[in-house]
Structure 1
């Protein structure tokens, strides 16, 4: 995907309160997905390790002055893998950040009020590991296309709330 021009990006500072809002939006999208697939909810409820702000917005959170700004927000949900089950393949869910200091992208075809939030997820190995450590290990060692792409940019915890702002990955 091509990078949005500078004029379509926000350079406002992402604060911990913004991470909490992003987590709330992502949790609502995940809940809606499980409403449509109740058998998956039964398998994965209680297995959410963390929600991370990833990609360019995470880089911007860490170093706003050195970043390319924010076109959209990518929130990744990491679930503890169940060897006997799989989450379904799907396109990312999207949400509207809503009116905020970040404005909206003039390039967004969905015409959200605010910036688009993409919510994606992966099941990762987590046996005996702290949630942050399991996510770090996935980013460092994962051989999937997602892991390889995600490790190129930062990842910052957005949920659970007490860990919001924790740096999970810095390339």
Structure 2
């Protein structure tokens, strides 16, 4: 049986709404949408505003991009991409996700506390979320959904023509985070 792209998109659109805490212990999908009339700097988005599709195998609260359990963007792919795109507009300062390992310092980043609050506020004001429980093979289904619907913030599982730009903005934040560990030179 072949699933029509329009029916999947229609189901996600029907499920979208403002963010609210959601504790669902099962698995499923979530999708981020720009609200009507909103935009992101230098990013082309479909008319319905679809930005990102993600999966959860441990419940929706475990993958909450608006209010991450860890309290920051360090483990939230879509949130880090949004922050990288909005860095100048929101005056975000990147810092390391963790001080424990070189990988964490050089690849992942988060924003300072004020920046995390600003990013969460921007997301609540400009984005909708759709949450759809799913009982099948969520990993395989996510790959198919991303390939069919081509959300611009998904950097893998489809040939995203905007990925080089988003990755460049993310590298800019990662570079700033690496500077966090550089010794500060005292003024002479």
- TM-score normalised by length of structure 2: 0.27
Query: Which is richer in helix?
Result: 2
Greater radius of gyration (CA): 2
- Greater RCO structure (CA 8 Å; 6+ sep): 2
